[in-house]
Structure 1
Amino acid sequence: MNNGSETNNSNGKGTTNLGTKLPNTATSMYNSAMAGLMALLAGVASLFARRRKENKIEQ
Structure 2
Amino acid sequence: MAEHNTHDIGSMRAVAHVPKFDGTNHREWNYQLHLSFQGTEIDEVVTGAELLPEEVTRTMPA
TM-score (structure 2 length as normaliser): 0.29
Higher-RCO chain (CA-CA 8 Å, sequence separation at least 6): 2
Q: Which has the larger radius of gyration?
A: 1
* TM-score (structure 1 length as normaliser): 0.30
